[in-house]
Structures are given as C-alpha cells and as structure tokens.
Amino acid sequence: MWRAQAGIPAAARPEALCRSLFRETPDRPTAWCLQVRGFSWEDCGGGKDPIVLRSLSIAPDPITIPGNVKVSASVTSSTLMTSPLKGVVTVERKVAEIWIQIPCIDQMGSCTYDNLCSILDDIIPPGEPCPEPLVTYGIPCHCPFKAGSYSLPTSDFALPDIELPSWLTNGDYRIRGVVSYGGKELSCVQLELSVHSN
C-alpha cells in the first residue's frame, strides 16, 4: 500500500495554516477548512484486472480543501473501455474499530453509477476539448478509452471551496471503487484517508 509523504514542515501546524489562508470574509461568515490526512491507496484487483492503477501520488499531506495539490498517476489497460461502464463506490467510516458503510445520499456515498461514460459527458460535453493537463499528456476524457498506458506526470490542481455531504464528518474513511462492463470487473481501487475540519 502506498502512503503520501508529508509535504508541510512539522513547524507549520496544519490547523494554523488553514486558518491563516482562509479567514472569515463578508461572503464567508464562518471560516471553513477541511483537511485530508494519511491518504493511501491500493489496487484491490490483485493486479489481475484488465485495468490497473500502477501509481498514484498526491501531495502535500495533509491536503487542504480549498487549496492546491500536486497529483501524478499512471494506469495500464489491456482492454477497450466503452459505454456503458458501471461504477460501484463503497464508502465506509471507522466507528469504534468497526467499518460502517455510508449509504448513498444525493448520489454521494456508497452509490452505484450505471453509466460512467454519460457522467463524463455531463461534466465535459462532447465536442469540447479535454481540460489541461489531460490534453498535454494525451489523456482522453470521454469514452471509449483505448487499451494502452496512460501517464500523468506531477501536475498542479486547485481544489475549490465546495459543499460537502453532511455525512462527511471527522474520522477515518475507506473508499472502494469498482468499474465493470457487462458484469465483468475491469478495475478496483481502494483509498484510505482521515478527514479533519476546523
């Protein structure tokens, strides 16, 4: 299992940094900040699925939302990925050493998505160019996805101030995502992380 490396000096306390970056303003009466710590991931397909996440790096640790992150990743695929791709996401929260599954609420949580390709089309309408840095590195953003290797070198992304689901409270979480086509599993990835808010 891969674990993120610390990206902030020990002397800079994350809570203090968060408060200094995001203070109360007229349009934000209550200063708010979320931090994701101890991020780790693993390929839960045992390396046998047609699509394998080979590497994933996200920095810094902790990740501050809103804020900026550096992401790199690589994926190999031995099969054509075409519509409809089904996605099953399972979100669990650790309560007294027991993993409790979070239900699907407003399409967030432990949900099933019958056609991931149509979701991508809703986010980026067909005909519109894929956003950077995907274009630069030849990474498609619409189905079908050809078999091959896809690599994203370390790239900067901005995490916006977004409204998060009510169930996302402080604690440890485990998230498993499975992609399938016609009942056959294509890929499985599991994430673990801790959520802390100010």
CATH number of the domain at 157, please: 2.70.220.10
57 forms beta bridges with: 72
121: in domain: no
58: in domain: yes
Q: What is the pLDDT of residue 123?
A: 93
176: in domain: yes
**What is the percent of the chain with per-residue pLDDT over 70, rounded to a whole number?**
82
159: in domain: yes
Nearest to 186 by CA among 196, 177, 194: 177
CA angle (91, 95, 99) in 5-degree steps = 45
Q: Is the pLDDT of residue 136 over 50?
A: yes
Count of structural domains, the chain: 1
Confidence of residue 130 (pLDDT cuts 50, 70, 90): very high
192: in domain: yes
99: in domain: yes
- Higher per-residue confidence, 168 vs 109: 109
Q: What is the pLDDT of residue 34?
A: 78
- Domain coverage including residue 52: 2-74+85-112+153-197
186: in domain: yes
Q: Give the model confidence (pLDDT) of 16-70 as tens digits.
A: 434 433 344 444 433 457 788 889 999 999 888 999 999 999 998 888 888 899 9
**Tokens 């027991």, residue located:** 98
SS3 120: helix
Kindly state the greatest CA–CA separation across the chain: 53
136: in domain: no
